[in-house]
Amino acid sequence: MTRRSPKPGVRRRAARRRRAAQPSLFWRLTKFLFVLGSVAFVGLAIWVALIARDLPDVSSLGDVERTASLSFYDQNARLIARRGSAHGRAASVDELPDYLIDAVLAVEDRRFYSHYGIDLIGMGRALLANLRAGRVVQGGSTLTQQLAKNLFLSPERTLERKVQEVLLAFWLESRFSKDEILELYLNRVYFGGGAWGVEAASMRYFGRSASEVSLGEAALLAGLLKAPSRYSPVSDAERAAARATVVLDLMEQTGRISPAERIEAAATPIRVSRGASSPGAQYFIDWIAPRVRELAGPGHGDLRITTTLDVDAQRAAERAVSDVLSDPDLARGAGEAALVSLAHDGAVRAMVGGQDYLRSQYNRAILAQRQPGSAFKPFVYASAFEAGLRPDDVRSDSPVQVGDWSPANYNGQYRGDMTLREAFARSSNAVAVRIAEETGRSHIARLAERLGIESRLLVDRSLALGAYEVNPLEMAVAYAAFANGGRRAESYGILLIETADGEILYEAQPVAGDVVLDTRTYAQMQSLFRSVIVWGTGRQAAVSGIEIGGKTGTTNDFRDAWFAGFGGELVTAIWTGNDDNAPTERATGGGPPAAIFSRFMADAPSSGLGAEPVSATLEAYGLAPLTANNTIDANPDVSVDTPAETADEEAEEEDPIAAFLSSLGGNEQR
């Protein structure tokens, strides 16, 4: 029996039924996307859950974790700096001025009271601004997100951390009111200068509570939040003021203050706490901070350190360095400088380790080892006087040769026979070498070490011309004996270390240094130092009303220039040059360093910088330091004998042999 084929109509209806039973492409695509989305959603949910599982513990939200704070004060109890973290009391939003809150919100989160932890509008605005600029110029994080990050998270920039930040922001918003979140933020955020929280910052910069700040001060504090170190008024007052002006502009644009209030606030000077306004003092703090930890030991919490520094003298030193180095005619190609000024017992009253601490924290005052040139000659002459020579003894200023070494005077000029006083004032290389060979190099090296030179000395032919390396601090220490009656000084910077409860952990005791110069040598050296200032190479260091003594020094190729001297109650050593040891534009010791010294001494306090027991020491010697009321000429056996013509600014002969000899091994070393 044969099977009949279906009719054509029946076949077409069956085909249509089969096609109708198959889903269309649209529905298949929709189903695929739905399944994919579901899987992605589940995967994302699992990923977020895993991230949420790793969220930090928030039970310690009210605890403040901090390190001990070290507060450094000058000898007159004025704040210099703080190291470590300083936390003030917790300030409530209700007690803060409305304009302080408005200033913070204007720059950090304008829509704070209208979002729920994240601000999609703000994020979109920031994204658009960044795309236009081609770089990140604006952030989209809310104040709540910043609080979450500051309280609980690390600063790393990863997607995982960002998700945790958003989750914590949601948690904070659900747990606390807006005012509570704002209060937590203001009491935990960093304002620079070691100050955490708005109260500590206000005390740090203005010396009063945050509830008492003016509109301009509030704008300055709010401006710090973006970059506390960059906009710190301690580091750069002009930049901080400019940032505060930006904050005032934003407050006006958002209707938080009126145009008249903005103009008045911008026109009102902001006075930063004076104790916090000397950034260059950080070189000094860097020097003594390790010593504080050694003397105090661990486990004492916050410490108050009274130092030997004098804020007024420090500011005078910084201004002097800045004024000279910023003037090309005075700097003569010197790009850096270092200054150390001591009381006669070695107490550091001022220390400048470089032109700009923010740009370079390298402390040239204690770390830079440079050749002193003729600034070493006082040790040569003092050794000669101990051996029996006198300032009026005559030696020949003519070409000299020691073996195969022939050091020359500046420009090859010689003046024939002259007294040792004139040779010292004119910085004659020939005479210095002659008396060094006559006296004995080893004796000179021992005297220099006795007075305070601690760097290694090479006892060779070039010793008399300072062809070895020292730092400004040890030069100042060694020169102190020429000013304080002949006693050895020891540099120090700490007077007192106390706990927050007033317990004294360390107190410096005055110590009379060993006698390192006899009375006759001391008086004779004062005569020579004074001659340098009156008619010698150091005339530019003179200061009206103050009797000054000192010595200039310049090295080969004019790479280093020095002036070390004393007057009033201070002994000061100054170096100028370049960090890369490049030659200057013929800068000599009688140029930039002498100019810095003169400006510093004229501007520094004229009293209150001395130290005991130096005054008693000088009385026992029947002598006195160089002051306006007690000139060198009043001392016995002292004269300046002004010649018919003054000396040129000195510079040592460009003598590569001297430099070479100083680096040779096998010489007697001290």
Catalytic positions, written as ranges: 108, 374
| Nearest CA among 197, 218, 111 for reference residue 150 | 197
Helix (H, G, I), strand (E, B) or coil at 564: strand
> Are 97 and 214 within 8 A, CB to CB?
no
Residue 262, C-beta contacts closer than 8 angstroms, at least 6 positions apart:
248, 249, 251, 252
| Nearest CA among 194, 287, 290 for reference residue 234 | 194
- HSE (CB half, 13 Å, CA atoms) of 166? 12
Angstrom distance (rounded) from CA 388 to CA 527 = 16
Helix (H, G, I), strand (E, B) or coil at 495: strand
Q: Is the dihedral of CA 590, 595, 596, 600 positive or negative?
A: positive
- C-alpha torsion 585→589→590→593, nearest 10: 90
Q: Can you give the C-alpha Rg of the chain in angstroms? A: 36
Residue 100: in which H helix or E strand, if any?
Answer: helix 98-108
Q: What are phi and psi of 61, to 5 degrees?
A: -60, -35
Rama region for 72: left / alpha / beta (φ>0; ψ in -120 to 50; rest): beta
Q: What are phi and psi of 434, to 5 degrees?
A: -60, -50
Rama region for 466: left / alpha / beta (φ>0; ψ in -120 to 50; rest): left
Look-up of token digits 């703090």: 285
Angstrom distance (rounded) from CA 311 to CA 234 = 14
Angstrom distance (rounded) from CA 521 to CA 381 = 9
Angstrom distance (rounded) from CA 615 to CA 483 = 11
Angstrom distance (rounded) from CA 372 to CA 369 = 9
Angstrom distance (rounded) from CA 175 to CA 312 = 51
